[in-house]
Amino acid sequence: MHSTDLLQFVAEHGYAALALILATGLVGVPVPDEVLLTFAGFLTWQGTVHLAGTAMSAFLGSCSGITLSYLMGRGVFRPLADRLFRKAAGGGKLAFAAGWLERYGGWTLFFAYFMPGIRHVAAYAAGIGRMAFPRFAQWAYPGAALWILAFLFLGRLLGPRWHLVSHWMRHASLWIGIATLVAATAGLWWVRRVRPDRNRS
């Protein structure tokens, strides 16, 4: 479905449509989340919908999507990751990855919402790493609330110019994607090269 159709769907069906689209977007379906939230903020500025109801429906949809991603990571993709790491390099690297997630994963979950692409895999990674659900919820849900409110109020602030966010996000996504690729490459090199050297010392 085209982004224009999604916006029209939200305009016509309100809170339930917003919750549904955000839930599917955070599971991994390609949805322009920030544009959608900014448009919803514009609708609250316009008086078409209420701010409180919009924020609550967006929060419930986002939390539903990211929780489902976490459960899928823990129940479906964790066994696949176990097999992959055992075949590739033994269980040590999987244990190291889980330890890193336990130490830094909270902040990653909290800020992942603001990074297109990263937010779609962060909850899966938390599930694969078997992050405890209370810890997952402690970081993921407040992050969702901050992300939602930021873009809703941006939509209210911009008013009729809310569509400018679509232009900004295209440029932001490019640089975020490049930075993510560089960071992932550096992290993979460090795990494969530096960490084994430390273990032997």
pLDDT by residue for the chain (201 residues), tens digit each? 456 777 788 888 888 988 998 898 877 677 778 888 889 999 999 888 899 999 999 999 999 999 998 998 888 777 676 665 555 444 444 454 455 566 666 887 888 888 777 777 888 888 887 888 998 999 999 999 999 999 899 888 888 888 777 666 655 554 455 444 545 555 555 555 554 444 444
Burial 55-75 (b: 16+ CB within 10 A, else e): bebbbbbbbbbbbbbbebbbe
Burial class (CB in 10 A: 0-12, 13-18, 19+), 161: exposed
Instruction: Spell out the long-range contacts of 44-47 with Cβ–Cβ below 8 A and sequence spacing 24 or more.
Output: 44/152, 44/155, 44/156, 45/155, 45/156, 45/159
Maximal CA-CA distance, the chain: 65
Q: Who contacts 180 (Cβ-Cβ below 8 Å, separation ≥6)? A: 115, 117, 118
User: How is 146-167 classified by DSSP, letter by letter?
Assistant: HHHHHHHHHHHHHGGGTTHHHH
Domain boundaries, the chain: 3-163
Q: What is the pTM of this model?
A: 0.72
